[in-house]
Amino acid sequence: MKRISILGSTGSIGTQALDVIRNLPNDFHVSVLTANSNVKLFAKQVEEFKPDLAVLADESAYKILKMENFGKTIFSGGRRAFIDAAGYYDVDIVLTGMSGFAGLEPTIRAIECGKTIALANKETLVVAGEIVTKLAKKYGVKILPVDSEHGAFFQCLQGENYKSIEKLLLTASGGPFRGKKISELKDATKNEVLAHPTWNMGQKITVDSASLVNKGLEVIEAKWLYGIDYDQIQVVVHPQSIIHSMVEFCDGSIIAQLADPDMRLPIQYALTYPDRKISPVKKLDFWQIKNLTFEEPDIETFKGLKFAYEAGKIGGTMPCTFNAANEVAVENFLQGRIKFLQIYDVIENAMLKREVKQNLTLETLIEEDSATRKLSADFIKSL
């Protein structure tokens, strides 16, 4: 039995991971559950899975549940307890399902404690790819990708030498606005942005999918996971989301991974790796699918992808700047304070104004993250 820790258990990745575990009760023991503030769902999960340790990162949410009786489960709260939970001793795999920069510190803690990482928090590799991959090497820790595209690369690369990779073909659904022009996106509403055509995901990543920022984050994530150059990563728009990504090798062969778009599959593969297990995911029927189509991404309209390549190539703190500005912009968009296309203005403003620092440490990144957040919040007020 593998002992699993799920960080961010009430989010989209967390709930789907628990569904995977529900379907494979003899393969996993849930040792740790952590969430931020969704008290109601968290209490239900703790009752059902009876983890050894349960942590709510948000102090006031913790106070609400503090008096509950969770039997043998140790229950604690606060940011410190959350980071400590990532290193809990009685765990084999830590699934990082929380979103945003806040996931970086607990991921580093888990690596330093020698845990296998099932990585769903892509921001970790975007802002600190260099630090995190070095640490993983130092502690002999495997990072297993949960993101569907990177999970696809990982499957295509089983038994292959990474040195023979010619190109990673990163597929993108194109999101709800594929084919639209700037004039049609000016007044895009929150509901339109959140209506993703193929994937069922959390709000933040769904906005990122509409802006193609998500694909940009995934380009940087792929660079660090597979140690290749940015010009070896090509984004291919594939609206059906059946091919989850492809690897082109030096001999011209291309290997692709296909499946119904259901996040439970990449989550399960990361958790059961190197084994495969039966899953509830719908099987593909090629007589129904008939067509798989491909397009070039429109990076002049969806500038998120262009900015990400630029930030990645500049390196140093720039991917952190890019990510922090986007996190602030998305939050403000979801609260109705800025328009959809202004997300790009917030990112561009931060990338122009923040000075790049090379030689990264965790401290430099925390500083850069908060400086960019402040700059971006002020910029939004001035709009």
Give the contact letters, 148-187, x = binds to Mn ion (CB under 5 A), - = no.
xx--------------------------------------
Query: Count of CB atoms within 10 A of residue 27's CB?
Result: 16
Q: Cβ 303 to Mn ion, closest distance in Å?
A: 19
Angle between helices 148-156 and 264-272 (to 10 degrees): 50
Q: Cβ 45 to Mn ion, closest distance in Å?
A: 24
Q: Cβ 202 to Mn ion, closest distance in Å?
A: 12
The stretch near Mn ion (CB under 5 A) out of 133-141, 144-152, 274-282, 344-352 is: 144-152
Q: Cβ 214 to Mn ion, closest distance in Å?
A: 6
Residue number, 83 or 225, with CB nearest to Mn ion: 225
- The enclosing H or E element of 311 equals helix 303-314
Half-sphere exposure of 229 (CA within 13 A, CB side): 3
The stretch near Mn ion (CB under 5 A) out of 87-95, 145-153, 186-194, 354-362 is: 145-153
Amino acid, single-letter form, for residue 71: G
Point out the residue whose Cβ comes nearest to Mn ion.
147
Residue 116 CB contacts under 8 Å (≥ 6 apart), including other chains: 92, 93, 94, 141, 142, 144
The answer to the question of residue 221 lying near Mn ion (CB under 5 A) is no
Give the contact letters, 92-131, x = binds to Mn ion (CB under 5 A), - = no.
----------------------------------------
Report the alpha-carbon angle 153-138-17, nearest 5: 45
Q: CA-to-CA distance for 142 and 130, rounded, in angstroms? A: 15
Q: Cβ 201 to Mn ion, closest distance in Å?
A: 8
Q: Cβ 16 to Mn ion, closest distance in Å?
A: 13
Q: Which stretches of 92-212 are DSSP H helices?
A: 104-112, 122-138, 148-156, 182-185, 190-194, 203-211
DSSP annotation of 212 reads T
Q: Site for Mn ion (CB under 5 A): which residue of 52, 147, 331, 369? A: 147
Q: Which chain residues interact with Mn ion by CB under 5 A?
A: 147-149
